[in-house]
Amino acid sequence: MAVELLDFYADWCGPCKVMDPIIHELSQGWGDKVKVTKIDVDKEQDKSTQHGVMSIPTYIVMKDGQEVDRVVGAVPKQTLKNKIESAF
């Protein structure tokens, strides 16, 4: 699988909770095309630092292991969908 969405979140983050059903809905439509990896910034601070995550939620679109796009904050479903699908 070449496309991966890194979802940096925290359980206490309101905007993260707002985006969670959107991420779930989108992931159902992609099937095996996109792997969604949820990363709890409180438990995996090293990964947050490695990817330069300063605010949450942050969504990083990876293709073949390289970052190709990034979205910070709660955004409309179509915005996130377009960014991910542009990586196909």
DSSP H helices in the chain: 14-30, 45-50, 77-85
Q: What is the distance in angstroms between the CA of the first residue and the CA of the last residue of the chain?
A: 10
* Active-site option among 5, 16, 61, 80: 16
Residue 16 designated active-site: yes
* Active-site option among 3, 6, 13, 53: 13
List the catalytic residues. 13, 16
